[in-house]
Homo-oligomer: A and B are copies of this chain.
Amino acid sequence: MAIPRAAKTQRRTRIQEEKEEVILEAALDVFSMHGFKGATIDQIAEVAGMSKPNLLYYFRTKEAMHRALIDRVLDTWLDPLREFDAEGNPEIEIKSYIRRKLEMARDFPRESRLFANEILRGAPTIMEELDDLRKLVDEKAEVIRAWVKAGKISRCDPYHLIFSIWATTQHYADFDVQVRAVLGPTRSGDGRFEDAARFLEQLYMNGLQVTT
């Protein structure tokens, strides 16, 4: 008899590893495009190239699938912020943070939209994780405050600084259609990320009067 997935906490088969990977990849496609309610298991199963009951053998509910997906992505999503280094100098740190966030918007737009969807809906499934986020941001806000105190950047609210970097970078993933529509077909090539990087670096370097 088949053992329900939740029961076998220890050993995972080769097939399990592979199929779960395929499923989560497909789920990312569908969830990020249509949101949680808008996505259907049949859709995900089709993209994953398997039957619905087969998919439900690996993730027993749609909810479980969504949760697994978000948990996995959440980790890598915050990596750029974690790398924010107190020892480094503000110019390098802020510039590279913007770069990395922009790269993620360019290379992982589905992940960005998945989160945007989740937050838009009031973060029903990652409420607790938001507390960890708060601690991380608190920590990094302290770093920024130290830079201010040391006179390396001008006085500013570190939280709103971080919010603004999140917003401006993720915008290119979450509002991609709008950005493309406004820039028009000719200027919508990959070059737009370079343009964005240039603009944002200038904005923040001058805006924070970072001493180089």
Contact = CB atoms under 8 A, between A and B. Distances in A.
Interface of A: 33-38, 113, 116-117, 119-123, 130-131, 133-134, 137, 154, 156-157, 159-164, 166-168, 170-172, 174-175, 177-179, 181-184, 187, 195-196, 198-200, 202-204, 206-209
A35 B113 CA distance: 14
Contacts of A163: 168, 171-172, 175, 179, 182, 196
A198 B157 contact: yes
A170 B120 CA distance: 12
B199 A160 contact: yes
Contacts of A137: 182
Given A119-B177, A177-B130, A195-B157, A203 B202 contact: no
Given A171-B166, A182-B134, A199 B161 contact: yes
Closest 3 CB pairs of A and B: A207-B207, A37-B38, A167-B171
Contacts of A204: 203, 207
Given A133-B178, A163-B168, A156 B119 contact: no
B133 A181 contact: yes
Which of A113, A204, A206: most chain B CB closer than 10 A?
A206
Contacts of A161: 199, 203
A154 to B, nearest CB: 7
